């Protein structure tokens, strides 16, 4: 992976491949044709794909492979468990597929218009799975972007996901948006893209690219990752101004690069620290929104409050309405809580949010994600506010639903 620094931004890309990508499960039909060996051949193919994409691969479970349907229940669950542990894989599925998971480490995202309930809801509230509030058949992949499907798909299936890629990411704090040179950034990205295309063409000519992951130039674009929402608000910035600035930047980039540009939040703490360190070191104007020393010079990832610091649930799950139509996927809200929330508490929280982000709960028995920074440690789970449940004080009737 290559990280290029600019004034107020970083560009992250690969060296001779696309940076990240996504695909549906239909590609696993051709790499694993025989039932006895199919699960392991599929895992091998996916591992080969992720080794070439430093930004990761999003696997969208848009259809269950035929060879997986004939496996027994234990083998079915075992395949999902092994799949979720592959490094670089981001697994995305519908609520019905969650029955193959067990409580444990965070393994993927459920996509659907409504809050997960039943077994899927139990896994979600215990932190094993996250939830992305996608409407209909849409797929909005956190940290990747919006994925086309349906009529534009290869097999014209209504739920088929079209494979796609990102050349790289442009990462920047919202406070720097009004000071950036959009044309200069576009020129830098154009030079990087030309170099990547030439290097990748050599790789393709030598046959060092998995045939199970078909590449098409028109389906490869860029992503703009934004962070520092807390600092932006603290400096009296308005979300409407941020939306206008982002739209102008995307317009310039798409015109110059002749490719699509996705926009979404950045949740990488390392990049947030590097951008904050750059602002303080070079005396850039947006440094005034950062906390004063001895606090570490780091922006907050995403758009909401710092997930490591105790604060109201609504502030950590912030999703500005002005940005909802501009972002290709919702921000990720990591909600650490002192106990596993009930369904009533989860419903009460959703009712208080104007726009719902991608939600992942972090109860006490769920270890928080890394990297772990001694200067910015996670607060104890007991210090975070308890999700309120309006139904907790209601006495159920003797005959329940019959009353």
Q: Which residues in the chain land under pLDDT 70? A: 32-35, 73, 105, 149-159, 392-403
Assigned token pair, 135:
């409407």
Structure tokens at 98: 């969650």
Rounded to the nearest angstrom, the gap between the alpha carbon of residue 204 and the centroid of all alpha carbons in its chain is: 28
Token couple for 394 = 């209601």
- Distances in whole angstroms, Cα of residue 56 to Cα of each of 21, 172, 246: 7, 20, 25
As a whole number of Å, the CA-based R_g of the chain is 22
Question: Partners of 361 in the beta sheet?
Answer: 335
Residue 153: the pLDDT is: 46
pLDDT of residue 191: 97
Contact yes or no for 301/343 (Cβ under 8 A) = no
Cβ within 8 Å of residue 246, ≥6 positions away: 177, 224, 226, 263, 323, 326
**Torsion (CA) 386, 318, 230, 368 in degrees, nearest 10:** 50
Q: Is the dihedral of CA 93, 17, 55, 46 positive or negative?
A: positive
Closest-CA residue to 17 (of 54, 43, 48): 54
Let me know: does 92 contact 58? Beta carbons within 8 Å.
Answer: yes
Distance between CA atoms of 81 and 71, rounded to whole angstroms?
14
Cβ(228)–Cβ(175) below 8 Å = yes
pTM (two decimals): 0.91
Nearest 5°: CA angle at 234, between 229 and 238?
65
For the residues of 20-70, what is the DSSP string, one character each? EEEEEGGGHHHH--STTTHHHHHHHHHHHHHHT-TT-EEEE-SS--HHHHT
β-pairing, 139-141 vs 145-147, is antiparallel
Query: Whole-angstrom Cα distance, residue 254 to residue 251?
Result: 5
Q: What share of the chain is helix, strand, coil (3-state, %, to 5)?
A: 40, 20, 45
Nearest Cα neighbor of 286 from 330, 321, 242 is: 242
Nearest-angstrom CA–CA distance, 224 and 16? 20
Report whether 141 contacts 58 (CB < 8 A): yes
Find where tokens 């501009």 sit: 326
Position 27 scores a pLDDT of 82
3-class state of residue 109 by DSSP: strand
296 by DSSP, 3-state: which? coil
């Amino acid at each position: 992976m290559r990280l290029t620094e600019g004034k107020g931004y970083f560009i992250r890309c690969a060296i001779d491949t696309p940076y990240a990508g996504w695909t549906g499960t239909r590609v696993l039909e051709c790499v694993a044709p025989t039932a006895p060996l199919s699960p392991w051949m599929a895992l091998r193919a996916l591992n080969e794909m992720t080794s070439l994409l430093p930004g990761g691969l999003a696997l969208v479970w848009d259809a269950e492979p035929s060879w997986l349907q004939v496996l027994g229940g234990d083998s079915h669950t075992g395949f999902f468990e092994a799949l979720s542990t592959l490094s670089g894989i981001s697994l995305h599925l519908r609520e019905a597929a969650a029955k193959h998971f067990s409580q444990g480490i965070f393994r993927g995202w459920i996509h659907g218009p409504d809050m997960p309930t039943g077994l899927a809801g139990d896994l979600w509230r215990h932190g094993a799975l996250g939830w992305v509030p996608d409407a209909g058949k849409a797929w909005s992949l956190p940290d990747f972007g919006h994925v086309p499907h349906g009529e534009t798909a290869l097999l014209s299936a209504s739920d088929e996901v079209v494979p796609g890629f990102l050349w790289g990411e442009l990462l920047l704090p919202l406070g720097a948006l009004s000071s950036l040179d959009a044309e200069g950034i576009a020129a830098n990205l154009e030079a990087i893209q030309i170099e990547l295309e030439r290097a990748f063409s050599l790789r393709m000519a030598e046959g060092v690219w998995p045939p199970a992951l078909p590449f098409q130039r028109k389906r490869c674009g860029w992503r703009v990752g934004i962070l520092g929402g807390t600092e932006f608000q603290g400096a009296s910035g308005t979300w409407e101004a941020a939306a206008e600035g982002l739209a102008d930047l995307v317009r310039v980039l798409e015109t110059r690069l002749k490719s699509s540009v996705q926009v979404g939040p950045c949740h990488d703490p390392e990049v947030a620290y590097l951008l904050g360190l750059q602002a303080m070191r070079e005396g850039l104007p947006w440094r005034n929104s950062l906390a004063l020393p001895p606090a570490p010079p780091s922006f907050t990832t995403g758009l909401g409050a710092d997930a490591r610091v105790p604060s109201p649930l609504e502030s950590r799950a912030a999703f500005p309405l002005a940005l909802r139509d501009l972002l290709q996927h919702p921000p990720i809200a990591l909600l650490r809580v002192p106990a596993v929330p009930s369904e009533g508490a989860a419903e009460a929280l959703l009712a208080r949010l104007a726009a719902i982000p991608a939600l992942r709960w972090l109860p006490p028995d769920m270890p928080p994600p890394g990297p772990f920074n001694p200067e910015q440690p996670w607060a104890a789970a007991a210090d975070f506010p308890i999700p309120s449940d309006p139904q907790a004080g209601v006495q159920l009737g003797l005959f329940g639903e019959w009353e």
